[in-house]
């Protein structure tokens, strides 16, 4: 029951977050379009490592963009996500809407991806349904489809929502610590 509530809460968060990112109907700018309140990156002292890894570069990128979750001894957030980290493929032909990320903490590893496609929600949901070992829940409404299931030991939530001419694809996976 607790997992089901978490999945539902995540789906609502993804859908509401997508609505905010699309702008508001009254013509005002969405939160992410507002002028930055932080100091310019030149004053933050962020420099690329001379011989760093891709993980180092993604961590630096996270510092330049939106605020990542707070770091602690048992919690690490890295901006950007690969198909391997997500545990599911990106939808073919889709483009990144905004950077996802990977969060590692004492409960496991969570990954999230935000993408856009020109295909309809039913086609995209069918693609992801094939990649799930088990579909636990499926919710359909006039604008989209939400799938909750499992794939290779990962708990997966896929939210596919029609936004004007394009479809937003939000994929969230969680690998519990064993």
Whether residue 24 is contained in a domain is answered as: no
List C-alpha distances in Å: 73 to 28, 87, 104, 105.
Answer: 39, 25, 11, 9
**Residue 94: per-residue pLDDT:** 96
Whether residue 16 is contained in a domain is answered as: no
Whether residue 8 is contained in a domain is answered as: no
Question: Which candidate, 129, 174, 123, 125, places its Cα nearest to that of 153?
Answer: 174
Whether residue 38 is contained in a domain is answered as: no
pLDDT by residue, tens only, the chain of 178 residues: 445 444 444 554 444 454 444 444 444 444 444 444 444 444 334 444 445 554 444 444 444 455 555 555 678 999 999 999 999 999 999 999 999 999 999 899 999 999 999 999 999 999 999 999 999 999 999 999 999 999 999 999 999 999 989 999 999 999 998 7
**Residue 67: per-residue pLDDT:** 53
Whether residue 83 is contained in a domain is answered as: yes
**Residue 24: per-residue pLDDT:** 42
**Residue 164: per-residue pLDDT:** 87
Question: Which candidate, 101, 67, 85, places its Cα nearest to that of 154?
Answer: 85
Whether residue 118 is contained in a domain is answered as: yes
Whether residue 89 is contained in a domain is answered as: yes
List C-alpha distances in Å: 87 to 20, 30, 44.
Answer: 27, 31, 34
**Residue 121: per-residue pLDDT:** 96
Q: Is the pTM of this model over 0.75?
A: no
Whether residue 9 is contained in a domain is answered as: no
Number of domains in the chain: 1
CB atoms within 10 A of CB 99: 17
Domain that holds residue 135: 51-176
**Residue 75: per-residue pLDDT:** 85
CATH number of the domain encompassing residue 128: 3.30.310
């Amino acid at each position: 029951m607790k997992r089901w509530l978490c999945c539902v809460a995540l789906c609502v968060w993804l859908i509401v977050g997508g609505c905010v990112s699309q702008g508001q109907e009254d013509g005002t700018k969405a939160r992410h379009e507002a002028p930055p309140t932080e100091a310019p990156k030149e004053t933050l002292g962020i420099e690329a490592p001379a011989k760093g890894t891709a993980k180092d570069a993604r961590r630096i990128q996270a510092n330049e963009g939106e605020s990542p979750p707070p770091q602690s001894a048992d919690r690490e957030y890295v901006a950007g996500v690969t198909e391997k980290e997500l545990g599911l493929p990106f939808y073919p032909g889709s483009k990144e809407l905004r950077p996802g990320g990977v969060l590692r903490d004492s409960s496991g590893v969570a990954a999230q991806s935000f993408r856009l496609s020109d295909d309809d929600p039913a086609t995209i949901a069918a693609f992801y349904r094939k990649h799930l070992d088990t579909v636990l829940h499926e919710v359909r409404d006039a604008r989209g489809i939400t799938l909750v299931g499992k794939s290779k030991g990962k708990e997966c939530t896929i939210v596919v929502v029609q936004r004007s001419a394009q479809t937003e694809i939000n994929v969230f996976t969680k690998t519990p610590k064993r």
